[in-house]
Every structure is written in C-alpha cells, then in structure tokens.
Amino acid sequence: MHLLAVLDDLFFTVKIQDAAKRAGFTATFVKDADRAVELAPADLVVVDLNCKTIDPIALIQRLKEKQATVMAFVPHVQVELKQRAMQAGADSVSARSVFDRDLAAILQRIG
C-alpha cells in the first residue's frame, strides 16, 4: 500500500511517516503539485491545505482527475478553506487535531 503526502510541515511529516509505517504503507512526501500529480494515484493522497508550496484547491482538482482518493487536513478555524476543498472533490477534510488523532486508524482500515 502506498500513501502520498503533500505537505511542508515537518511535525506532520514525522507523524504521517510513523502512522504509515505502522500500518504497512510506504510513504512518499512531496512539496510540489506537479510531482504529486505525477505520482498519483496512490492508495491514499494526503494534502495539507496550509502547505505553502502549492495551491491545495487546484491540486485536489488535478488529483481527482486521476481518480485519487484525497484526504485533506486544515486548522479547525479555516472553515471556508475546508468547504472549498470539499467542493474541489476531497474525499474528506479533517481538522488537524482530528487528522492527527485518527490517521493510524484510517490507515489500518484502508490497509
């Protein structure tokens, strides 16, 4: 199983890597939208909506064109960004705290 993560946050990179490893996933981390689209679809694509190196909404739309399953996360106070990500086609959008708490369980279910 393969997880593709698009983010530039070192804290979440480590958390995702750990959860992926425990669930038997290989994980690839990118900070570039074109590279993410090139590597998609993976079994799951995780997008940090606050990643500064991409336009996350445009990336979600491009990933969905490739039939990717996209899970995004964002601070809970950014309600409008969450709504825009859902409209762009994200399969789920979680608050950062919920994403952090539930990622291991989600990967276990997928894997």
pTM of the complete model: 0.95
CATH number at residue 73: 3.40.50.2300
pLDDT tens digit sequence for 44-97: 999 999 999 999 999 999 999 999 999 999 999 999 999 999 999 999 999 999
Token pair for 17: 């890597």
Beta bridge partners of 95: 74
- The CA distance from 9 to 84, in Å, is 21
User: Which residue from 17, 5, 100 is spatially nearest to 43, judged by alpha carbons?
Assistant: 5
Beta bridge partners of 74: 95
pLDDT at 111 over 90: no
pLDDT tens digit sequence for 42-55: 999 999 999 999 99
- The CA distance from 75 to 95, in Å, is 5
- The CA distance from 1 to 75, in Å, is 27
Mean pLDDT value of segment 5-29: 96
Overall domain count for the chain: 1
- Render 49-87 in DSSP notation, one character per residue: TT-TTS-HHHHHHHHHHTT--EEEEE-TT-HHHHHHHHH
**Could you list the residue range(s) of the whole structural domain that residue 68 is in?**
2-110
